[in-house]
């Protein structure tokens, strides 16, 4: 397992090689299982985060991802034994940045199959969790403040945010 750059206590379990999704049903199953808190913890990867966000944006317009996803992830974490603390569990800035990035990415691809959009997103620079470090200093992104509330980029601004 690799650790987050500059923060050895934060593990990036989602750095495993990505296996492309093969159907929209697979994406929907991840999103639904996240909401129902039945997604196996080992399947809550970087790819699954983006799959769930894209599914919410594309298939669940009744759920405002920006407002609802923080509660959904916190509840999921608790259901799988992950504490939401000052240095583990839910991370507001990473979640909100990912939602914004996924929205922008999806906007130009609405007519494509969702699994293909997700695979394309994961094949882009967003597929590397380190993309956030283009916009935030490590110490800012991995701070307790950024975990608890939105903290804007402190290296460079982006259209995504």
The per-residue pLDDT string of the chain (161 residues; one tens digit each, 9 = 90 and over) reads 334 444 333 333 344 467 899 999 999 999 999 999 999 999 999 999 999 999 999 999 999 999 999 999 999 999 999 999 999 999 999 999 999 999 999 998 999 999 999 999 999 999 998 999 999 999 999 999 999 999 999 999 876 65
Q: Which residues of 62-88 are buried (b: 16+ CB within 10 A; e: fewer)?
A: ebebeeebbebbeebbeeeebebeeee
Contact 9, 87 (CB under 8 A): yes
Q: Decide if 13 is inside a domain.
A: no
Residues of the domain holding 126: 20-148
Q: Decide if 12 is inside a domain.
A: no
Q: Decide if 159 is inside a domain.
A: no
* pLDDT in the model for residue 158: 75
**Cα distance between residue 59 and residue 57, in whole Å:** 6
* pLDDT in the model for residue 17: 66
pTM summary value: 0.86
Q: Find all residues with CB under 8 Å of 75, minimum gap 6, and list them.
A: 37
Q: Decide if 134 is inside a domain.
A: yes
Q: Find all residues with CB under 8 Å of 80, minimum gap 6, and list them.
A: 37, 41, 44
Q: Exposed/middle/buried for 12, CB within 10 Å: 0-12, 13-18, 19+?
A: middle
Q: Decide if 79 is inside a domain.
A: yes
The first and second tokens of residue 150, run together, are 């939105």
Q: Decide if 104 is inside a domain.
A: yes
Q: Decide if 54 is inside a domain.
A: yes
* pLDDT in the model for residue 149: 97
| The residue to which tokens 């939602």 are assigned | 99
Q: Decide if 62 is inside a domain.
A: yes
How many domains is the chain built from?
1
Of the CA atoms within 13 Å of residue 111, those in its CB half-sphere come to: 1
């Amino acid at each position: 397992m690799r650790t987050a750059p500059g923060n050895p206590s934060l593990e990036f379990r989602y750095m495993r090689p990505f296996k492309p999704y093969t159907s929209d049903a697979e994406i929907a199953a991840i999103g639904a299982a996240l909401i129902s808190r039945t997604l196996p913890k080992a399947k809550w990867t970087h790819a699954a985060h983006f799959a769930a966000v894209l599914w919410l944006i594309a298939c669940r317009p009744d759920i405002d991802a920006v407002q609802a996803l923080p509660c959904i992830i916190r509840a999921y974490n608790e259901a799988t034994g992950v504490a939401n603390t000052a240095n583990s569990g839910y991370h507001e800035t990473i979640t909100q940045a990912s939602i914004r990035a996924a929205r922008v990415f999806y906007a130009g691809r609405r007519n494509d199959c969702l699994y293909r959009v997700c695979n394309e997103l994961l094949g882009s620079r967003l597929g590397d969790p380190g993309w956030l470090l283009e916009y935030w200093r490590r110490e800012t992104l991995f701070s307790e403040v950024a975990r608890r509330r939105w903290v804007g980029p402190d290296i460079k601004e982006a259209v995504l945010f």
